[in-house]
Amino acid sequence: MRITGDWITDPATQKVCAMLQAGGHQAFFVGGCVRNALIGTGVADIDICTDAHPDRVMELAAAAGLKPVPTGIDHGTITVVSGGIPHEVTTFRRDVETDGRRAVVAFSDDIQEDAKRRDFTMNALYSRADGTVVDPLGQGVADLQRRHVRFIEDPEQRIREDYLRILRFFRFYAWYGDPDEGLDSEGLAAVAENTEGLAQLSVERIGAEMRKLLSAPDPAPALAAMQACGVLTRILPGADATQLAVLVHLEGGIPPAPMRRLACLGDAQAATHLRLSNAQARELAHLREGLETTLSLPEIAYRQGMDMAVNVALLRAVAFEMPLVLNRDELAQAAAVQFPLTGKDLMPDYAGPALGAKLKELERAWIESGFALDRAALLARR
C-alpha cells in the first residue's frame, strides 16, 4: 500500500528524507500526514520520525543547506525548513515516566516502540519516503479503513499517560469515526472511569482541543457521548449538548463555526473555562447578546457583520424552535451600508451629550427605515 500526493513528492520534502538517509538513518512520515493521505483529505503538517538523535538532525540539516530550528529539542523534535516548508523531525521515542499531563521520554531506534507510545491505532501509521505504508502494530490501516477510533493496547493506560487523550478520543471520533458504528466501547468505558483526571489539565490545552472538536463537520454525536459519560460537565459545567444536533442540521452548507456551536452549548462561563482569546470571548458574547436581544438580523449585520447575523439567525432558530429564515441579500446589503451622518453634520445645533443622543436617534430612524433614509431626509429630521 502506498500513499501519494503533491506534498510527499515535493522536492523540498524529499530533500529532508534524503538528508537523513544519506547520513545512515531511517526516515518515515508519521501520524496525521499519513492518515490523511490514506483517506484522501488534506495534509497540513508534515511530521517525520527517525532514529537520528536531535543533535545529529541539526548537523545533517545544516550540512545539507537546510535550516534546522530546535523547536522541541528536549523532546526530540527539530523543525527542518526546506523550500520554505517546515518539517517536524522527531527522534523515535519511548516513554520512561508519565504523570497524566506530560511524559519523560528516552530516545529509541525502534519504530515499534515509537508506535506503541502513541494514542490511537490510526495515528501509529508511517510511510517511507516513496509512500510505502508501514503499520508497525498491524492495526492502524484496518481501523482507519473502518473509521474506528481505538486506543493502542490498554485504553486506561493510554489515558493515564495523558488525560488530554480523553478529549482527543472524542475529537478524533468527530473527525474520523463512523457515526453508524459509534464510539469504541472499551475506550468509552475507560474514559468514563478516568474523567477526574481532566482536572490535571491546563485550561489552555482543554480549550484548544474543544475548538478543534467543535470545528468538525458534525460534532454532535461526540458531544452527546461526552455529556452521557460525564466529560462535558467536567470541562463546561453549564453546558448542555442536546440542541447541538439541531444546530448542525440547520447549518446545512454553512461552514462550521466553533464559537457558534459553543454558544449553543450554553455554558455562561465558557470563555473562562476554555481560556478563550479576547477575540473569541467577544464573538461568544456577541452571539449570546444576539440571542437575548430583539435586534433585527439586518441591524446585527450592519453593526457586527453578515457572519454574526447568520450565526444569530441559526442560534435563534434552535433556541426558539422556529424555521430558519435567511435573506442573504438583505443581510449582505445591511453589512455594507454606512450611516450617512456624522456628528459634524449636526453642529452647531447640538453639542455634548445632546449631540450623541440626537445622532443615535437619527441612526435608529435610519435603521428602522430599512436603511432607506438618505442624508437629506435625515438632516430634515434634526
| One-character DSSP codes across 181-225 | T-S-HHHHHHHHHTGGGGGGS-HHHHHHHHHHHHTSS--HHHHHH
Strand 133-134 relative to strand 85-91, pairing: unpaired
Q: Give the separation between CA 87 and CA 92, rounded to whole angstroms.
A: 15
Residue 103: its pLDDT value, please? Answer: 66
To 10 degrees, what angle do helices 185-193 and 164-176 make?
150
Q: Report residues of the chain scoring pLDDT below 70.
A: 97-104
> What does the block give as the cell for 305?
457583520
Q: Is the bond into 255 cis (omega within 30 degrees of 0)?
A: no
Neighbours of 2 (CB within 10 A): 12
Q: How far is CA 119 from the centre of its chain?
A: 18
Residue 105: its pLDDT value, please? Answer: 77
Q: Give the separation between CA 245 and CA 225, rounded to whole angstroms.
A: 12
Question: pTM here?
Answer: 0.91
Residue 101: its pLDDT value, please? Answer: 65
To 10 degrees, what angle do helices 203-214 and 164-176 make?
10
Among candidates 222, 370, 202, which has minimal Cα distance to 298?
370
Residue 352: its pLDDT value, please? Answer: 93
Residue 73: its pLDDT value, please? Answer: 86
Residues 205/276, Cβ–Cβ less than 8 Å: no
Secondary structure letter of residue 256 according to DSSP: P
Tracing cell 537523513 back to the chain, one arrives at 20
Radius of gyration over every alpha carbon of the chain, rounded to an integer in angstroms: 26
Residue 75: its pLDDT value, please? Answer: 86
User: Any residues with CB less than 8 A from the CB of 22 and at least 6 apart, and which?
Assistant: 60, 64
Residue 130: its pLDDT value, please? Answer: 96
Residues 133/125, Cβ–Cβ less than 8 Å: yes
Residues 35/1, Cβ–Cβ less than 8 Å: no
Three-class secondary structure assignment of 110-126: CHHHHHHCCCEHHHCCE
Residue 99: its pLDDT value, please? Answer: 63
For residue 162, the cross-strand partners are: 100
Tracing cell 460534532 back to the chain, one arrives at 219
The Cα-based distances of 259 to 246, 308, 315, 322, 353 in angstroms read 16, 11, 11, 21, 36
Residue 150: its pLDDT value, please? Answer: 97
Residue 253: its pLDDT value, please? Answer: 86
Secondary structure letter of residue 153 according to DSSP: S
Residues 358/382, Cβ–Cβ less than 8 Å: yes
Q: Which fold has domain 1-146?
A: Beta Polymerase; domain 2 (3.30.460)
The Cα-based distances of 365 to 227, 291, 340, 355, 360 in angstroms read 46, 23, 12, 16, 9
Residues 93/106, Cβ–Cβ less than 8 Å: yes
pLDDT in tens, 154-188: 999 999 999 999 999 999 999 999 999 999 999 99
Domain boundaries, the chain: 1-146, 339-379
pLDDT in tens, 94-137: 877 666 666 667 889 899 999 999 999 999 999 999 999 999 99
Residues 86/72, Cβ–Cβ less than 8 Å: no
Q: How far apart are the first and last CA of the chain?
A: 76
Q: Give the separation between CA 47 and CA 50, rounded to whole angstroms.
A: 10
DSSP 3-state assignment of 88? strand
